[in-house]
Amino acid sequence: MDSRNTSYARFVTEQPHVVIIGGGFAGLSAAKALKRAPVRITLIDKRNHHLFQPLLYQVATAGLAGVDIAQPIRRILRRQQNVTVLLEEVEAVDPEKHELALADGNRIAYDYAIIATGVSHFYFGHPEWERHAPGLKTLEDALEIRRRVLIAYERAEAETDPLRRAEWLTFAVIGGGPTGAETAGALAEIARRAMAGDFRHFDPGHARILLLEGADRVLLSYPEALSEKARQQLETLGVEVLLGARVKAIDERGLTIEGPAGTADERLEARTIIWAAGIAASALGASLGAPTDRAGRVEVDPSLAIPQCRETFVVGDLAHIEQDGDLVPGVAPAAIQQGQHAATNILRLMAGKESAPFRYKNRGSMATIGRKSAVAVVGKLELSGLFAWLAWLTIHIFFLIGFRNRFVVLFEWAWSYLTYQRSARLILEEAGEASPSES
């Protein structure tokens, strides 16, 4: 047991120590599920906040402020006295020794571990693309994308050459999954609506929004009919949807795509590129010594534990688990169910029972396309249009943590619905970046 827990340990030396790594949906739901359990919990995250990732694209597109969708983890768990929250980075987990190593050099022993550090971006073997095409996983990512989008309009206003201005007014989103489709839809609305009237040297409505997808339809995990509906909704908003478009190169001024077999490469000039394609599992997964899939996700057993240690669980996006032949998807409901399940299995093991196998209950999925349309699948029901959008809105606001956030997000939505305005249009300087105020 590490020294920092000594004072606390005086009262509870007999209780097992559960370490949860990651304060996302999976980690937080595990901690909450152990609320009344006779355990000491240490929740470790390298960030101080839980993030409501499904709305992150709204921060990137200036619709919401970061504070509207994030909450300090220790605030969420303040009343749960059996949890200590630590802002630290975990470098490795050693399931043999039941011990983990922190980036600051300290080590923490555990009886049970739940690892839920999620995924980040994968650039298909081209890490150099990241500079030109940031992804969207953290609040910092979202603020950086917002900065780039807003700066692009500013540069267009200062540019006199029409071709170069057009480059600044071209926005390419790579990846036609829910994040890519939602981001492209919001970018189109900014161009057509929120920016209207703000510039003197061009019409923001002429901005081009490209959505590039390598497969032959967007929202690949949805039924085909809904993919088609989503494409139509995107095009109605003014998004150019390019299917079968595989990215070959990305640089500061644009990208090159390989069209469907037989077609020539195509060059697209776009100063703002957003990456919503590949994912790579958190590096912590590899430290476990358990088998991983191609994306680096840890292949857990049916109990969600790693094969060599039944007390070490991996949950959420970092876990690879199949059900009826399909991978359980990396979505918030699956992460929440897995976190709860790992907690239940810890209680079973503490009671001398065997772990129980995990089973994902798919209650449906939905993606929003712009300001008043969406697509949703609920069981056998396929929905699209305004009704799906209202369902999307209700569910997303309901699952936001904290009454204040729900209220403020609802207000922001109503406000932008009525005024077409996006309130978070602030450009913040970033150190080391050449922003106009530093050049």
In the block, tokens 């469907």 appear at: 260
In the block, tokens 């020539």 appear at: 264
Find the binding residues for its own copies in span 246-265 (CB under 8 A). Answer: none
User: Whole-number minimum distance, CB 12 to its own copies, in Å?
Assistant: 11
- Tell me how far apart the alpha carbons of residues 294 and 276 are, in angstroms, rounded to a whole number: 18
Is position 423 an interface residue for its own copies (rule: CB under 8 A)? yes
User: Whole-number minimum distance, CB 94 to its own copies, in Å?
Assistant: 21
- Tell me how far apart the alpha carbons of residues 96 and 113 are, in angstroms, rounded to a whole number: 12
Binds its own copies (CB under 8 A): choice among 34, 43, 60, 70: 70
Binds its own copies (CB under 8 A): choice among 14, 96, 104, 128: 104
Nearer to its own copies, 143 or 321 (CB): 143
User: Whole-number minimum distance, CB 85 to its own copies, in Å?
Assistant: 8
User: Whole-number minimum distance, CB 158 to its own copies, in Å?
Assistant: 6
- DSSP state for residue 340 in the 8-state scheme: H
Is position 158 an interface residue for its own copies (rule: CB under 8 A)? yes
CA dist list (Å): 417 to 225, 288, 394, 410, 423:
27, 47, 15, 10, 11
Pinpoint the alpha helices (H) of 118-258.
139-158, 162-168, 178-189, 224-237
Binds its own copies (CB under 8 A): choice among 115, 234, 242, 427: 427
- Tell me how far apart the alpha carbons of residues 274 and 186 are, in angstroms, rounded to a whole number: 13
Is position 154 an interface residue for its own copies (rule: CB under 8 A)? yes
Find the binding residues for its own copies in span 130-149 (CB under 8 A). Answer: 139-140, 143
Closest CA to 184 of 136, 238, 222, 147: 238
Query: Of 9-17, 74-82, 223-231, 368-376, which segment contacts its own copies by CB under 8 A?
Result: 74-82
Is position 80 an interface residue for its own copies (rule: CB under 8 A)? no
* 69, 90 contact by CB (below 8 A): no
Catalytically annotated residue among 144, 167, 182, 311: 182
Nearer to its own copies, 93 or 306 (CB): 93
Is position 47 an interface residue for its own copies (rule: CB under 8 A)? yes
Q: Is 429 exposed, middle or buried (0-12, 13-18, 19+ CB in 10 A)?
A: exposed
Q: Please, what's the largest Cα pairwise distance for the chain?
A: 74
Is position 89 an interface residue for its own copies (rule: CB under 8 A)? yes
User: Whole-number minimum distance, CB 210 to its own copies, in Å?
Assistant: 25
Binds its own copies (CB under 8 A): choice among 1, 37, 87, 391: 87
* 183, 228 contact by CB (below 8 A): no
Tokens of 123: 């650039």
Binds its own copies (CB under 8 A): choice among 199, 322, 354, 390: 199
In order, the DSSP letters of 252-290 are: TTEEEEE-STTSPEEEEE-SEEEE-SEEEE-GGGGGG-S
Pinpoint the alpha helices (H) of 195-241.
224-237
Number of residues that bind its own copies (CB under 8 A): 61
Is 182 among the residues known to form the active site? yes
In the block, tokens 């571990």 appear at: 113
Find the binding residues for its own copies in span 224-243 (CB under 8 A). Answer: none
Binds its own copies (CB under 8 A): choice among 75, 126, 253, 348: 75
Query: Of 47-55, 173-181, 205-213, 328-336, which segment contacts its own copies by CB under 8 A?
Result: 47-55
* 397, 409 contact by CB (below 8 A): yes
User: Whole-number minimum distance, CB 284 to its own copies, in Å?
Assistant: 13
Nearer to its own copies, 131 or 363 (CB): 131
Closest CA to 155 of 143, 171, 131, 139: 171
The 10 Å CB-count burial string (b at 16+, else e) for 118-136 is bbbbbbeeeeebeebbbbb
Is position 198 an interface residue for its own copies (rule: CB under 8 A)? yes
Nearer to its own copies, 171 or 358 (CB): 171
Query: Of 78-86, 114-122, 240-248, 351-359, which segment contacts its own copies by CB under 8 A?
Result: 78-86
Query: Of 6-14, 206-214, 249-257, 300-308, which segment contacts its own copies by CB under 8 A?
Result: 6-14
Is position 97 an interface residue for its own copies (rule: CB under 8 A)? no
Helices (H) and strands (E) in the chain, counts: 11, 27
Residues taking part in catalysis: 182
Q: Which residues bind its own copies (CB under 8 A)?
A: 3-4, 6-8, 46-49, 65-68, 70, 72, 74-75, 78-79, 84-89, 103-104, 139-140, 143, 150-151, 154, 157-158, 160, 197-201, 404, 407-408, 411, 415, 421, 423-432, 436-439
